[in-house]
Structure 1
Amino acid sequence: MSRGFVNEDDQEEIPLVPPRADLPQGVTNYVTQVGMDELLQEREDLLSEIENLDPSNEKEKRIATNHIHAKLQLLNNRISSAKIIDLSQQPKDEIRFGALVSLLEEDQKKPQRYQIVGVDEANISKGKISFISPLARILINKKVGEKAILKLADRDRVFEIEEINY
C-alpha cells in the first residue's frame, strides 16, 4: 500500500526508551543484594504502572503500555544477567566489589567515602560508584594505608585508603 493511503493518526510512535547504565559487552553484571532488590522493585513498579494506566484513552494507553514494556525488556535483561556478590565473602582487608571505602585525597582534610557497586546501583550523590569507573578500578585490590593514583589529563589525583568496610 502506498504511504498516500495511510492515515497519519493511525500511526503509533515507536517508544524511545533511554538505555540503562552502560555495561560494556562481555563485562559481568555484578550487583550487591541491595542492587538486585532495587532492580526487582523497579520491575514491580513498572508492572504496577501498567495496571494503573487510564483506560479511557485507548491510544494513549497502548502507547504508554508499549513504552513500559520496552523499559521492562531492558530491565529484565539486566536482571537475568545479574550476578549477586555476597559481601560477607569478600576479603575484609582488601578493596573488592561492594567495599565501602574511606579515602583521603592529597591536599584534602576530609576523607571521601564511596561504595563500589554495580552499574545500575551507582549514584555519585549517594557515594556509590560503579565497579567499572576509573576510580573503582584503581582501588580494587588495595589495602588500608596504600595509595591509589587516578591519572587525569592535567594532573594526578592521589588517594590514600583509610578504611575498608563491607
Structure 2
Amino acid sequence: MSSAFLKNERADDPVVIPARAPLPPGTTNYVTYRGLSLLREELAALEQEHAHTQIHELDETERMRKLALLNGQIGALNQRIATAKVVDNHEQPHHEVRFGATVHLKSQSTKHGKANRQLTIVGVDEADATNGRIAFTAPIARLMLGKSVGDSIALRTIKGENVLKITDISYEG
C-alpha cells in the first residue's frame, strides 16, 4: 500500500507545500477586485491558523511540520498577492471580450444540445469552472478574448467540435 494513504509520517519526511493554480512563466498575474479580496481572506485564514498552531499544538514534531506547511503556503500566497495586477472592469471595452467579462454563449451544434453557457474570465486563483469562472489562461478563454457579440468560437471537445456563438458580454461592478 502506498504511504500516501497512511498517516505514518516520520519527523524527517519533507513537508510538501501544495502548489497554487499554475500561472505560466512570464504571464502577468491578472486578478479581479473579487479575486484579490479572496486572496487576502485566504491569507488572513492561514495566518490565524498559524497563530493557533503555535499556541495550541501539543506534539512538537506535528507542530513544527504544520508550521512549516503553513509558512510555505503563506509565502506562496504572499507572492501571488504581491504580483497581482487588478483589472478594473470599468476600463474594459464593453463591446468585446476581455479579462473580467461574463460571456453568454449558445451552442450551435446539435451534438451538444444547443445549450446556453455563461462564463466569466477571471484570474487563475479565482477560477472555479463548476461555477462558470474560468482562468484567463484557459483555452476557451483565449479563444474568446477580443471577440464581440455575434462572433463564434470553435471549441474542440471529446464529442467533437462545438461551435459557440457569443450572445452577450457584460462586466460586473
Q: TM-score, normalised by structure 1?
A: 0.89
Matched, 1:122 2:122: no
Whether the 8 Å contact between 1:31 and 1:117 is mirrored in structure 2 is: yes
The letter of the residue matching 2:45 is D
Aligned to 2:85: 83
1:39 is paired with a residue of what secondary structure?
A: helix
Aligned to 1:31: 31
Alignment of 1:60-79 (within 5 A): 60-79=62-81
Aligned to 1:4: none
Whether the 8 Å contact between 1:114 and 1:128 is mirrored in structure 2 is: yes
Whether the 8 Å contact between 1:114 and 1:129 is mirrored in structure 2 is: yes
Aligned to 1:44: 44
Structure 1, 59-68 or 143-152: larger mean CA deviation: 143-152
The letter of the residue matching 1:128 is R
Structure 2 unmatched runs, 5+: 1-9
Larger Rg: 1
Q: TM-score, normalised by structure 2?
A: 0.85
Whether the 8 Å contact between 2:11 and 2:61 is mirrored in structure 1 is: no
Offset of residue 109 of structure 1: 3.5
Whether the 8 Å contact between 1:13 and 1:63 is mirrored in structure 2 is: no
Quick one: percent identity of the two aligned structures? 36
The letter of the residue matching 2:134 is I
Aligned residue pair count: 158
Offset of residue 13 of structure 1: 3.0
Question: 2: distance between equivalents of 1:158 and 1:109?
Answer: 10
Offset of residue 12 of structure 1: 3.5
Offset of residue 110 of structure 1: 3.2
User: What is the root-mean-square deviation of aligned Cα atoms in Å?
Assistant: 1.8
The letter of the residue matching 2:105 is L
Question: 2: distance between equivalents of 1:124 and 1:50?
Answer: 30
2:115 is paired with a residue of what secondary structure?
A: coil
